[in-house]
Chains A and B, each alone.
Chain A
């Protein structure tokens, strides 16, 4: 027994080291942050803006720091087309912004969620009808987070939607949203809405018209906003509601102010 003791001690040490190794491996593989993405709508029409909801969650019981920008500029999408081809869109928005990336604190268990809308190069990226697989990567200064693959279906437009889609394909400036000097975007949007009033495409241009007119034509802007805020499936519906509310409030205050001014003048 006396002679066996060193062997027992050695074996115990080895087992201890092995267990420590297994534990540390499982610890290091345990993710600290989760990153998820889901489309606001599972299926869309080609050229229809795509809403994507992102969320980052702190899975630990400690505060975590994330140095990055929770916006589209810091996200890379990986897209698998219906044909099986995988590509990474180079740019997701036609506005490129210079921001200061702040360090964000994620409290234990905290989840931050935000929504992004893709409306750039849709004809290039999602122009094909069929089932797409998407996943996103978020590269902050200190973390690389990757979502699981999610499915997005681009449906074949039918009926009036099909006619509207075909029309859009003939007007690249409208379809791509790229500035084209000399092209009267506003007139084209109005004409499109009048020609295809009941299409999903028309709602997008109504929303754009509402945004465009909010400083100059309150009545028309309200009309356009009202046409889309009742459509829960419209990808910009929450933005439209907020902007509509802000616009009405601004108008209401302006009227109060004007009325008081008038009263003061009369007195």
Chain B
């Protein structure tokens, strides 16, 4: 509000008005200006204010904010017993440009005083979003595009709050001091409505579906102040006003910010789907109100990928007691009964100091020693009696051994992680706005080799977690880490040796998970601690099924670490490997409710 002081020397009739710079008027927004006078007590003085000729814009005047605006405007001030009086005049810019006002006092009728009260009438030309503490705001690759922001920490232990995004409103004219209101909105989720992802509880396209518990519309701040979704900032001499939008840490929460210097026009703005519009269904940008692109929160999951050491002890040892030959094969009777029946199906037997042969299978023969069915006749068979032998199965997770040797010198290959690669279009977690980065869990070169176990149990897996998950301490609300180990095989009963085993286990995760948490984000599952992909079983199984690549077991297990439970149906989290990579709507909802690092409460 601008103040004018009429200092009236009754006889001299002199006026002093201080007005150096043009005053900014936001298009159609009234500006209150107080006129004060010191004069004869209890006197009414009459004035007229009008726009001078010239300039490029138009202004009008009124004595009340919602009164009738006119040019010229007659008004009066009545002084009190001390000779002081004042009133407020409202000036409104009707068209953009520059204009000047002049005033007349009835003591000197017909005389217009050249006060040169200049105004600059303007509106917003653009509202943009830029990164503050984030590297950049890039294009959101998901539906409805817009921009995306990663509010994550930029490294382990980063304590900088990176949720703020700069919102810049630029005026059509470079005028300082215009109050600009920034108002953020939770626009509707762009996905198909009606399921757990976008329940549209407020009606179709209604928005207010961000997962954050309070402040769904975002928080607007200027200089760190502000706790609601509206804030006022003043234009600088360049005609620029700036505020910060504070976003949530929930992946998928999306926002738009509208800005205007016109209160009524801004109050008329509402959400319609992913856009903002006025009550007459006119989408932004409008003459008086401009808006930002849609901004969507993405989160990063930093993955530490370790691998088991080269297999050791992935073989059986025994001593041949006797054998029988005939029909092109030999049945070897061993001394000890120690092999899992059928485990060495299609394997290879190495006689110490002698030769080696293919194996069709093996069986138990309690109380005697194991039987091994060799695919050739040992000649002479008595020469092999009392000989030690080593036997391996058909494990060959690099698929490069001939004959098989138990993978003795080969560390587990890294699983195909393409399905989580954000650089491709195949990131299975993209619908939940999560990027997975294989970066050692935030520690460069953090790719450890773990102890090898042929058929580890839960205690073995826990031990590997304790010993090798180096980036676990990095996990924080603003820095998600997960742990993936390229393992060899799961438990003996489900490692696909022999192939007649059913229910082959391709991977395992220790986690607290859920497949349906209902509406809201109250019961977000803890998530997990580690995942193992059984590379040899995966290879074995997919070779058996003539499917050359399995790129879904790793993301399935990572899904568990993010708190997703197995489910039935054709989804990534299907309780059986079926080649589908789609996330169920409930799973997307659970992922988008997550703010904690996996395994942290």
| Chain B, 541-571, CB within 8 A of any chain A CB | 541, 553, 556-557, 560, 565-566, 568
A95→B508 contact, CB < 8 A: yes
Say yes or no: B317 contacts A257, CB within 8 Å.
yes
Q: What CA separation (Å) do A215 and B504 show in the bound complex?
A: 24
Output the least CB separation between A228 and chain B (Å).
15
B513 at interface by CB-CB < 8 Å:
yes
**A94 interface residue per 8 A CB criterion:** yes
Residue among A70, A99, A215, A252 making CB contact with B505, cutoff 8 Å: A99
Among B317, B336, B469, B565, contact of A96 (Cβ-Cβ < 8 Å): B565
**Nearest CB of A to B338, in Å:** 5
Chain B residues near A185 (CB-CB < 8 A): 462
Most buried by B among A71, A100, A211: A100
Residues of chain A with a CB closer than 8 A to B528's CB: 96
A250 to B505 alpha-carbon distance, docked (Å): 24
Given contacts A211-B459, A260-B388, contact A96 B508 (CB under 8 A): yes
Q: Give the CA-CA distance A256 to B505 in the complex, in Å.
A: 33
Residues of chain A lying within 8 A (CB to CB) of residue B388: 257, 260
A102 located at the interface, meaning its Cβ lies under 8 Å from any Cβ of chain B in the complex: yes
Task: Return the chain A residue nearest B542 by Cβ.
Answer: A100
Cross-chain contact A97 with B465 (CB below 8 angstroms): no
Q: How far is the CB of A112 from chain B (nearest CB, A)?
A: 11
Which among A96, A104, A139, A257 is the interface contact of B511 at CB below 8 angstroms? A96
Chain A interface bracket (under 10, 10 to 19, 20 to 34, 35 or more): 20 to 34
B472 near A96 with CB under 8 A, answer: no
Partner of B566, one of A96, A211, A252: A96
The digit string for A234-250, where 1 denotes a CB below 8 A from any CB of B, is: 00000000000000011
List residues 163-181 of chain A with CB under 8 A from any CB of chain B: 178-179, 181
B575 within 8 A of A: yes
A95 touching B458 by the CB < 8 A rule? yes
A55-85 vs B, CB cutoff 8 Å, 1 = contact: the mask equals: 0000000000000011101100000000000
Tell yes or no: B460 within 8 A of A by CB: yes
Q: Specify which of A95, A97, A185, A257 lies most central, judged by the most chain B CB atoms within 10 Å of its CB.
A: A97
Contact with B along A173-196 (1 / 0, CB 8 A): 000001101000100000000000
- The B436-481 residues at the A interface (CB cut-off 8 A) are 453, 457-463, 465-466, 469, 472-473
B599 at the A interface (CB under 8 A): yes
Q: Indicate if B502 sits at the interface (CB-CB under 8 A).
A: yes
Q: Which residue of B lies closest to A71 (CB)?
A: B503
Q: Which residues of A contact B556 (CB under 8 A)?
A: 98
From the candidates B336, B457, B512, B515, name the one contacting A178 in the complex (CB within 8 A): B512
Q: Contact check, B459 vs A101: say whether CB atoms are below 8 A apart.
A: no
Chain B residues whose C-beta falls within 8 Å of the C-beta of A230 in the assembled complex: none
- Could you tell me the distance between the alpha carbons of A81 and B99 in the complex, rounded to whole angstroms? 79
Q: Does the CB pair B507–A250 fall under 8 Å?
A: no
B514 on interface, CB distance cutoff 8 Å: yes
Q: Which of B485-543 contact A (CB under 8 A)?
A: 490, 494, 502-515, 526, 528-529, 541
Q: A95-B508, A211-B457 are in contact. Are A100 and B576 (CB under 8 A)?
A: yes
Residue of chain A at shortest CB distance from B494: A99
Q: Which of B458, B462, B503 contacts A69, CB < 8 Å? A: B503
Residues of chain B at the chain A interface (Cβ within 8 Å): 317-319, 336-338, 388, 453, 457-463, 465-466, 469, 472-473, 490, 494, 502-515, 526, 528-529, 541, 553, 556-557, 560, 565-566, 568, 575-577, 599
Q: Which 10 A-B pairs have the closest CB atoms?
A: A101-B576, A102-B502, A212-B459, A98-B507, A179-B529, A211-B459, A69-B503, A98-B506, A97-B508, A100-B504
Question: Could you list some 25 contacts between A and B, CB below 8 A?
Answer: A73-B575, A95-B508, A96-B509, A96-B510, A96-B513, A96-B528, A96-B560, A97-B507, A98-B508, A99-B494, A99-B503, A99-B504, A99-B575, A100-B541, A100-B577, A101-B503, A102-B504, A104-B502, A141-B568, A179-B510, A179-B529, A211-B457, A253-B317, A253-B318, A260-B388
New A-B contacts (15) at CB < 8 Å, excluding given A139-B568, A211-B457 = A90-B514, A94-B510, A94-B512, A96-B511, A96-B566, A98-B507, A100-B504, A100-B576, A102-B502, A141-B568, A178-B512, A179-B510, A179-B599, A212-B463, A257-B388
Residues of A participating in the B interface, judged by any CB pair closer than 8 Å = 69-71, 73-74, 90-91, 94-102, 104, 139, 141, 178-179, 181, 185, 208, 211-212, 215, 249-250, 252-253, 256-257, 260
